[in-house]
Structure 1
Amino acid sequence: MASIHPFEGTVLSSTLCDLGEGISFEAETNTLWWCNILGKALHSLDLTSGKETIHPLPVMASVVARIDDERQLIGSDKGLFIRTRATGELAPHCELEPGNDANRSNDGRVHASGSLWIGTMGRTAADGAGAIYHVSKGAVTKLYDRISIPNAICFSPDAATAYFVDTRGNRLMKVSIDPATGLPSGQPSVFVDGSADAGGIDGAICDANGHLWNARWGEAALDHYNADGTFIQRYQLPAKRTTCPAFIGSSRIAVTSAWEGLDDAGRAADPMAGATFAVDTGAQAKYDPAYRL
């Protein structure tokens, strides 16, 4: 039977994001980055000094990834941008869905090849309005369509398997991919069928042993599955709407959350909704690579 761990971690940021998402750790600078999608802001937390900085954005960003010491990739409702760190300037890189203003980006992650998988969804989460794309050096390939809420995009440590979910259906999928390109080489199959379970399968990461760690929206939880999809354990967190995890040390995992959709009474009952947390899991970290231009 799976074990349940009460929260014994830390609050990394008490800044309450409408919709915290897209968290990513940059080992080169010991900095944690995440997006407040609805708040149009990029957050950075220097883990050495403990200083948090909020960078306002002109777009609704959902993904941030390292390119190099000077630049980052930003995925947003207006497409992908190259962000200059020193100035915050955004330069267009490519569009995902030209002319489609009804959609925005959501979950995404960089593959070992330096390519990006990123999902889109309707701004009001319309059924089947979104898709999942592969982006390599600005070239966009649609992988899967009729997606309502794309999430859980992550990759196995050998770079040969991708995971993703449409949170509306809660069936976490896996698919064989080419380790050299990040493009699918097979058909998706169900890895975890969570359709009958409470909460929503949200953002996910793989550890160095091929285990999957998933933020469970609505359940205040970080869930741990082994490489064959068996549910092993749950780490409870102090906010119900947990959204996305990222390794920040050899075994620590940071998790964002949200207060989107809560009324005043709901927020009063969930006062840490939108904060960012960390728990020590004992897992072996696997960090995301840089996006290659």
Structure 2
Amino acid sequence: MNITRRFALTASAAAFALPALARAEDVPVARSPGGAILGEGPLWSAADNTVYWVDIRGKKLNALRLADNSAQSWDMPDLIDWIVLRKSGGFLVAILRTVHALTLEPFTLTPLFTIEADKTDNRLNDAKVDAKGRLWTGTMHMPFSQKTAALYRVDADLSVHQADAPYLCTNGPAFSRDGSRMYHNETSEGLVYAFDVAPDGSLSGKRVFTKFADGVGLPDGLTTDADDGIWVAHYNGGRISRYTPDGKLDFDVMIPAKQVTSMTFAGAGLDRLFVTSAAQPPVDADDPHAGTLWEVPKALLRGHKGLPTNAFAG
């Protein structure tokens, strides 16, 4: 399905009733109610002092303003896959297979381009912007059975370039501090890849960075820190892991939800870490906090801080 007309939707400014923030030094804190069907793609906006994240299957964009812990959500016209900042103002969001420009005040969506328009079983899945303002996004096969997906680079002129294929379910990406290395997942096979990134954005040297062992879930969202550590969310593993640049596991942080999907550093010092989770059926009875946005206590971060959020140059 191609989205070819402009949407001008009224934002459903439903404030969340946030739970009490009873902090403990060693336990992640719930920063939203549970129940997001597929909470994903957290994004830190320093200009707004806000963490944004999506509920893909719930068709919602959510926001948590750190200044006062107030929250808001907006209904979207279809599956919202991700959100990134745009240098010219506002955001880019992916809705199914089409990338839109988004403004929140007033709330408007303007379609820009479509990726894999002919692959109706695929949708866009996860995205990041590199330090040169290029957008990197992948696709996934929604029935989760065929390797028909790919990784793409979108340049500032909105030209779309296939960077790697095939995939069943792309996740990530994330970049080293100097931008010379990219990390990217094939979730279905438990693989995290590393690539070398040339100045023109071409990729080379694809190799396995790490492979998840049985019983710890599947690699989902990624982020990197200022010390070049690589953080990976474990879907159905109830944790996030930090790896050193040579692929060694540094440490795990357990999250009180099984379907852990992604994370972002946030705050003025980039020293706060927010983690998304999902409540996709079936949800186990012993997973009552599925679909919650979590904040990891600073003590569990071991002094690590994040990198600034990049904005798309186009």
Distance 1:103 1:131 in 2: 10
Q: Are 1:23 and 2:42 counterparts?
A: yes
Name 1:104's counterpart in structure 2: 123
Name 2:224's counterpart in structure 1: 206
Question: 276, 289, 292: which is aligned to 2:310?
Answer: 289
Do 2:128 and 2:172's aligned partners in 1 also have CA atoms closer than 8 Å? no
Q: Which amino acid in 2 is paired with 1:95?
A: T
Name 1:32's counterpart in structure 2: 51
Distance 1:44 1:230 in 2: 34
Q: Which amino acid in 2 is paired with 1:269?
A: D
Name 2:289's counterpart in structure 1: 272
Distance verdict in 2 for CA 1:99–1:175, change over 3 Å:
same
Q: Which amino acid in 1 is paired with 2:36?
A: C
Q: Measure how far apart 1:288 and its partner are.
A: 2.1
- Map residues 83-98 of structure 1 onto 2, 5 A cutoff: 83-98=102-117
Do 2:34 and 2:290's aligned partners in 1 also have CA atoms closer than 8 Å? no
Question: 138, 160, 165: which is aligned to 1:140?
Answer: 160
Q: Deviations over 1:56-105 (max 9, x none)?
A: 11121121111147410102313111002212211111111123221111
Q: Deviations over 1:153-190 (max 9, x none)?
A: 10001011011010111121001002x44331x22011
Question: 263, 270, 284: which is aligned to 1:245?
Answer: 263
Distance verdict in 2 for CA 1:84–1:220, change over 3 Å:
same
- Report sequence identity in percent: 27
Distance 1:244 1:196 in 2: 20
Q: Are 1:80 and 2:102 counterparts?
A: no
Q: Which runs of 5+ in 1 are unaligned?
A: 1-5
Q: Which moved more, 1:204-213 or 1:8-17?
A: 8-17
Do 1:31 and 1:47's aligned partners in 2 also have CA atoms closer than 8 Å? yes
TM-score (norm. length: structure 2): 0.86
Q: Which amino acid in 2 is paired with 1:284?
A: K
Question: 4, 27, 44: which is aligned to 1:8?
Answer: 27
Q: Which runs of 5+ in 2 are unaligned?
A: 1-24
Distance 1:134 1:49 in 2: 36
Q: Measure how far apart 1:11 and its partner are.
A: 1.1
Matched position secondary structure for 2:202: coil
Q: Are 1:67 and 2:67 counterparts?
A: no
Distance verdict in 2 for CA 1:31–1:43, change over 3 Å:
same
Q: Deviations over 1:209-252 (max 9, x none)?
A: 11001111111101010111100110011100000010013322
TM-score (norm. length: structure 1): 0.92
Distance 2:30 2:201 in 1: 34
Distance 2:40 2:95 in 1: 12
Q: Which amino acid in 1 is paired with 2:79?
A: M
Q: Which amino acid in 2 is paired with 1:63?
A: W
Distance 1:174 1:69 in 2: 30
Q: Measure how far apart 1:25 and its partner are.
A: 0.5
Name 1:3's counterpart in structure 2: none
- Map residues 247-266 of structure 1 onto 2, 5 A cutoff: 247-249=265-267, 250-263=270-283, 266=284
Q: Which amino acid in 2 is paired with 1:105?
A: L
Alignment size in residue pairs: 284
